[in-house]
Structure 1
Amino acid sequence: MLKRNRTGFTNGWRLRSAWSVVVLSALSAPLLTGCAAESRDEVLKAFRLELPPCETQDMTFSGQSSAPGINLAMSFTAPESCVKQYLTDHQVDLERPVYWPASGESKVGGTPISPTKPPFGADSMKQFKLELDPSKKYEVYRGFTTPKKAEFKVLLVPQGEQIGVYMECVITGEVSRRD
């Protein structure tokens, strides 16, 4: 027969229950979080992506370089000349921007896509805290490539003499291969 203490539970039940929660939490953590968190430098090294050679501000970063879930999203603000050189150094053709919002409505597989559909996935838009004004035009580039053949979509947001740069990896290339 179980004895109840003043909280209504037996000490043995409470101890077993607490122990079960600890064990289940420890076992499920690797499933929820994947591998141990990697530092920004580790992820950038795996992607073989260097930061711009100029001073940047307001850096945000999210990513991992091991499966499952290889990804990289980052943003920063830098002088326009530095940003343009950084993009050129990574094979971006500055003469061929795509604009957001898109002009007109497009379709993918017969399904209409709104011209104001955000340029990045919901998680990245949230991370970037990015709210775009659909009455303005923003330059978007594809083809920003690293030596590991990872490709990024890049959005530029003018901020006076500075430019906000928002990047999201769209093709991981050979990132999972270690040098």
Structure 2
Amino acid sequence: MADEQNQEQGVTEQQAAPEARFQLQKLYVKDVSFEVPNAPQVFQEPGQAEVKLNLSQRVNNITEGIYEVVLTVTVTATADEKTAYLAEIHQAGLFGIAGLEEAQLQGALNTLCPHTLFPYASRSITDLVASGGFPPLVLQPVNFEQIYMQRLSQAQGTEGMEVQGNA
């Protein structure tokens, strides 16, 4: 009798907990630009350009369980303190995510989603740079989990700090 009640209770708990779901529903480019402000002189510059990578992301809750994540990848190359090129893409995706607790949801939105978008953004940046007449640029993989954990620890550190000063 007790076993039957435990089995029934287990079935009820399983039915109550929604199944976790993560699905890329749509992938698209929201914005893209490539600038060579010092052309054609920049092509005469000897040496290797210094390349800087900047990443950012934005999350929009479209409807319940549907999120738009926009990963912005900006690459700036400079040679002799002049901009050789600037390439930027806003790679976006619509993600269906359900059945996750808030902490898990934030983790997925800040790690799994940008990790899914990055290869597409990277390929587009590589194509833009090559089409602009520059040597091939291969962006290295990014550890979005590490970036997210650093942001979390920084946020926790600032919460614990007291503001001091004279009023």
Q: TM-score when scaled to structure 1?
A: 0.25
The structure with more strand, counted as a fraction of residues: 2
Q: TM-score when scaled to structure 2?
A: 0.26
The structure with more helix, counted as a fraction of residues: 2
